[in-house]
A and B are shown apart, each in its own frame.
Chain A
Amino acid sequence: AQSVTQLDSQVPVFEEAPVELRCNYSSSVSVYLFWYVQYPNQGLQLLLKYLSGSTLVKGINGFEAEFNKSQTSFHLRKPSVHISDTAEYFCAVSDREAGGTSYGKLTFGQGTILTVHP
C-alpha cells in the first residue's frame, strides 16, 4: 500500500518570493513520483516527474523537485513565484513495477493550495 502526505494544506506567498511545497510518501515498493497542478474546474497538468537518474528534477513553469530516498520526500520548489502560479498542487506516487495491473495507478496527496499575493 502507498500513501502520500502533503504537509501544508495552504501556502500563501508574495509574488517573486520563493516557495516550497512539501510531500512525503510511504510505500512497500519502488515508486515513481509526480507533481501535478490543477487550476479551478480543470483537470490535472503534469509539472514534473521522477522516474530514475538525477534526484533533482526540473519541470515546467520554473518548478523543480528533489527526490530524497532516505527521507522519502519529494518537495516541490520554485525560486520566484508569479500570480499565475496560484492553483492547487498535488503530489502523487505510482508503482514502478512494470507489468502489474496497478501500473500507472496514482495515489494522490491531499493537495496544497498555493496562493500568490501581489
Chain B
Amino acid sequence: GAVVSQHPSRVICKSGTSVKIECRSLDFQATTMFWYRQFPKQSLMLMATSNEGSKATYEQGVEKDKFLINHASLTLSTLTVTSAHPEDSSFYICSARRGGGSEAFFGQGTRLTVV
C-alpha cells in the first residue's frame, strides 16, 4: 500500500512552452501533497504544499505564477511549469500524505529538461 505514481518520468520541452507533471496516490487518499525540486548534486528543496480543494502554499522564493499547482482531488495533484526556461531543468519529486498519517510517500520523480 501507499503507492505514489508520478508521470511522466522524463520530459524534454522547448524553451517557452509549458509542461504538466502529474502526481497520483494510487491506493490511498492524499489530503496533502508536496512538490520538491532537486538540482544536480543538491538536496531536495520544498517548492509548495497543496491541500485538496485549496490553494497551494508556496515556499519563499518560488514563483507561484510560474509553478502552477492544482490539487483538485484526493488522489491527484499536478504541477505545471509555465513558460519553461533552461534554468527550470531539474528533477521534480512529489510526495503525498494521507489524512492523519505521519509519513509522506514519494513518487519516482520527473526529470525535466528544457532546451
Contact = CB atoms under 8 A, between A and B. Distances in A.
Q: Do A and B come from one complex?
A: yes
Interface residues of A, number: 26
A43 B34 CA distance: 14
A3 to B, nearest CB: 11
A44 B45 CA distance: 13
B100 interface: yes
Given A108-B44, A110-B42, A43 B106 contact: yes
B108 interface: yes
Contacts, number: 65
A-B residue pairs, 7 tightest by C-beta: A104-B97, A43-B108, A43-B109, A44-B106, A104-B104, A108-B43, A43-B106
Interface of B: 6, 32, 34, 36, 42-46, 49, 51, 57, 91, 93, 95, 97, 100-109, 111
Interface of A: 32, 34, 36, 41-46, 49, 51, 90, 94, 96, 98, 101-111
Q: Is the interface of B mostly helix, strand, loop or mixed?
A: strand
Nearest to B96: A104
B44 A42 contact: no
Given A32-B102, A103-B32, A42 B51 contact: no
A34 B111 CA distance: 24
A110 B44 CA distance: 8
Nearest to A96: B102
B54 to A, nearest CB: 10
Contacts of A90: 43-44
